[in-house]
Amino acid sequence: MARNSESKPQKSVASETFRLFSSLDDKSNLALSFLDTSKPLPKPPCIEVLPSEVSSSVKYTVEPVNLGGLTLLKGRVSTQEVFKLANSDLEPGKYEGGLKLWEGSLDLLKVLHSEVQKGQLSFTGKRVLEIGCGHGLPGIFACLQGASIVHFQDFNSEVLKCLTIPNVTANLLKNPHHLDTNLIEEAEHRFFAGDWSEVHQLLPHVLENKKDIEDPAAGYDIVLMAETIYSIATLPILYELLKKCIRRPCGVLYIAGKKHYFGVGGGTRRFLSLVEKDGFMAASLVAEVADGSSNVREVWKLSVK
């Protein structure tokens, strides 16, 4: 999961229906690493983090991210300072890489910006959830585009306190690229930490049973996530969370990630094979990025059938 602060322009791909004949049961040529272990890993507590809990003890610096007509602000904090880990991408059960700005997040941001410009997507008045948010740039873009509710979720509460909340604050205060100041000031922005197997218990707009489908307050209109599908062991848990979160019948999910994460078994194609097998959502490829900086990356749009 290489990362950088800017990506080269992505290659747009005509929307296509996804069909994958292999399934998650096919483990041939699959190399598993320390991320996928049969031993249960410790889970952090599921909690809501309030903006007033932002860390004042960790040094936070900010710099612009320019994405061809769109400029957002991103923070930088030290992994060593926050987690006492030296330049670590992740440590299972303790830190899942939320302080890094991953390429997939920028890919997703570019796609959302393009879809809005083309009139194919609107955030105005919508309920939005970003899963595995880290820096939270896609969710921040939704805030600036007039979403009425934006909820940010990350594995670690430390990431939310030291990076996500400061990023949201910096962008909402200083970024001029928004539709309506009143919409932003009246919007609800909340932050939730916890494991995907449990965090639905905290999220306000989940569907717990079939009766919730008729509830207009149940489900998120738009769910966003980037670089969350690297570990094959967590894909079923993540998928079940998504099904609880997406609004029916008109909710949409945007997912960005690498086609294959070598060594850990995950990737867009593994995730989509699970989606296809379940039959609940349809998927179409929105963009493909093959800029040579990493494995081929993709952005997919999923909708309820």
pLDDT digits over 103-146, tens only?
A: 999 999 999 999 999 999 999 999 999 999 999 999 999 999 99
Q: What is the pLDDT of residue 181?
A: 64
Q: What is the pLDDT of residue 176?
A: 55
Query: Which band of pLDDT confidence, cut at 50, 70 and 90, is reported for residue 216?
Result: confident
Q: What is the pLDDT of residue 183?
A: 65
Nearest in space to 75 (alpha carbons), one of 159, 8, 7 = 159
pLDDT tens readout for residues 162-187 = 999 999 999 998 865 555 666 667 89
Q: What is the pLDDT of residue 29?
A: 36
Nearest in space to 49 (alpha carbons), one of 133, 137, 121, 110 = 133
pTM of the model: 0.85
Q: What is the pLDDT of residue 175?
A: 64
Q: Is the pLDDT of residue 39 over 50?
A: yes
Q: Is 14 helix (H, G, I), strand (E, B) or coil?
A: coil
Whole-angstrom Cα distance, residue 170 to residue 221?
A: 25
88 vs 121: which has the higher pLDDT = 121
304 vs 264: which has the higher pLDDT = 304
**Vertex 62 angle, CA 56 and 68, to 5°:** 150
pLDDT tens readout for residues 228-257 = 999 999 999 999 999 999 999 999 999 999
- Sign of torsion, CA 185 191 196 197? negative
Q: What is the pLDDT of residue 199?
A: 97
Q: What is the pLDDT of residue 9?
A: 43
- Radius of gyration from C-alpha coordinates of the chain: 18
Q: Is the pLDDT of residue 20 over 80?
A: no
Whole-angstrom Cα distance, residue 145 to residue 9?
A: 22
Query: Which band of pLDDT confidence, cut at 50, 70 and 90, is reported for residue 91?
Result: confident
41 vs 132: which has the higher pLDDT = 132
Q: What is the pLDDT of residue 11?
A: 47
17 vs 75: which has the higher pLDDT = 75
Q: Is the pLDDT of residue 44 over 90?
A: no
Q: What is the pLDDT of residue 72?
A: 94
The segment with the largest mean pLDDT, out of 18-22, 82-86, 284-288, is: 284-288
Q: What is the pLDDT of residue 179?
A: 56
16 vs 158: which has the higher pLDDT = 158
**Given phi > 0 = left and psi -120 to 50 = alpha, else beta, which region is 215?**
beta
Taking residues 66-81, what's their average pLDDT?
Answer: 92
